[in-house]
A and B are shown apart, each in its own frame.
Chain A
Amino acid sequence: MKADPHGVLTGTHFIDGDHACCEGALAAGARFAAGYPITPSTEVVERFAARVPLVGGCFIQMEDELAASIALQGGVWGGAKAFTVTSGPGFSLMMEHIGYAAMTETPCVFVDVQRGGPSTGLPTLPAQADMMQARWGSHGDYEIIALCPNSPQECFDLTIKAFNLAEEFRVPVMFMMDEVVGHMTEKVIIPPAEQIEVVPRKHTRKSIEDYLPYGTNGDMVPEMAHAGEGYKFHVTGLTHDERGYPNMTPQTQDKLVKRLQNKIRNAADRICLFEEDRLQDADVVVVSYGITSRVAQRAIDLARERNLKVGKLRLITAWPFPDKKIVELAARVKAFVVPELNLGQMVREVERAASGKARTFAVPHAGGGVHKPEEILNAIVEASRC
């Protein structure tokens, strides 16, 4: 399906990542957002609140992030594509409802423009320290998808992708920006609506009598019906059967939770996006994501000038983690260098997937700024010697 032209601001723009994210959401068909604006994500909803009434939607400023993260799910069950936007402190408050979205299979997007933490931390300065929280923050076993843009252009493109993945898999998608990407102003090209592919809601074609809210018919992703259409069913965070009725038995739990997990895991190859460069002859691979990948690019260029065989693997999808790619590389490279604006999060995943076949060098940074290219270069030099 092509994008609704009303929401697409076709043209060449000079805007920041937050504004580009908002335009991506509008292009993807988002017509509802609930939020409790927080630096450095405020500009996303500020723009959305001004723009969305013009295309027939609305924004509600809620009393807090708990309310925002559940109001958006009400919007989804009412038939809208919806999202919320926050930063670390708000993201922490949203964790309960991320689990609820995973359990009730509510397609929605949570944008987290990461800032320094823990707690109130550094409201106006960057970090990438919510990466593990995005994956594991809510209790219980579940899978989510997380995307990491590294430019305003990608904030536009990948926001559309985030909505599409949410609809396809009926899963909450975490859009993991960081303060620098959010506040960096660059050229953003918004194509005409007919060139933007959007995934529509997986709405049931079944009659009211035959509809089972969580019946899958062999497919991993059930079909949705919306409130007010006459389909009478119950949406609950309790372990539920195909009818949506609470059924708290180990058998129902096993069937439901394994399906929630496998619908993402089995499709991981299709979901995982990454950018690679000069990996053919590489001895060392720099694995990075978000703003850090742009500093890493400079470090890789400097290392290549010194004839060090370095390649780049940039994670665009952080979750599900691209295990297969790391396993393949670990078999033929000496080491991975993982710079990130935290004290060691995704590096653990790289290390796990590499499983001792290649060494792993973390380049930690507590946040509040970005790495100096030389810091990453030094790690590359050290890794090349191992």
Chain B
Amino acid sequence: MAKGRVSIVVERCKACGFCVEFCPTHVLALSSAFNSKGYHPPHVVHPEKCSGCDLCGMYCPDFAIYGTKADLKSEAAKAEKASGGAK
């Protein structure tokens, strides 16, 4: 299970690519989608590799991306609930 999760605010992005370049675990790539300004925001290509370190958030000049640590306990509980408590 991934240790973290990246959240992207696509409308703030100007596609500088810093997050893609600097992500230590290569989670991101620029997408082919457009935001309303015509830029290609990043998207997550390897969610399982995210460590939640937030280096992307520290680099982003536009506050358009941030990483968060996964709450592993509640994730596990959610997974358990989804599976109907079956072991």
Q: Interface on A for B, CB 8 Å cutoff?
A: 232, 234, 236, 245-246
Contact = CB atoms under 8 A, between A and B. Distances in A.
A245 B22 contact: no
A340 B21 CA distance: 54
B22 A236 contact: no
Nearest to B21: A232
Contacts of B58: 234, 236, 245-246
Interface in B5-62: 21-22, 24, 53-55, 58-59
Among all A-B residue pairs, the 4 with the closest Cβ atoms: A232-B22, A234-B58, A232-B24, A234-B55
A215 to B, nearest CB: 15
User: Which of B53, B58, B59 is the most central at the interface, judged by chain A CB atoms within 10 Å of its CB?
Assistant: B58
Contacts of A245: 53-55, 58
Nearest to A243: B53
B50 to A, nearest CB: 15
A290 to B, nearest CB: 42
Contacts of B53: 245
12 contacts: A232-B22, A232-B24, A232-B55, A234-B55, A234-B58, A234-B59, A236-B58, A245-B53, A245-B54, A245-B55, A245-B58, A246-B58
Given A245-B58, A246-B58, 11 more contacts: A232-B21, A232-B22, A232-B24, A232-B55, A234-B55, A234-B58, A234-B59, A236-B58, A245-B53, A245-B54, A245-B55
Contacts of A246: 58
Nearest to B24: A232
B54 to A, nearest CB: 8
A244 to B, nearest CB: 9
Nearest to B58: A234
B24 to A, nearest CB: 6
A111 B76 CA distance: 58
Contacts of A236: 58
A324 B22 CA distance: 47
Nearest to A234: B58
User: Which of B21, B53, B54, B55 is the most central at the interface, judged by chain A CB atoms within 10 Å of its CB?
Assistant: B55
A246 B21 CA distance: 20
A245 B22 CA distance: 13
Contacts of B22: 232
Nearest to A209: B24
Contacts of B59: 234
B37 to A, nearest CB: 27
Nearest to A232: B22
Nearest to A235: B58
Nearest to B55: A234
B84 to A, nearest CB: 39
User: Which of A232, A236, A246 is the most central at the interface, judged by chain B CB atoms within 10 Å of its CB?
Assistant: A232
B76 to A, nearest CB: 26
Contacts of B24: 232
Nearest to A245: B53
Nearest to A230: B21
Contacts of A232: 21-22, 24, 55
Nearest to B59: A234
Nearest to B54: A245
B27 to A, nearest CB: 13
Contacts of B54: 245
Contacts of B55: 232, 234, 245
A234 B58 CA distance: 8
A246 B24 CA distance: 16
A232 B54 CA distance: 13
A236 B54 CA distance: 14
B56 to A, nearest CB: 10
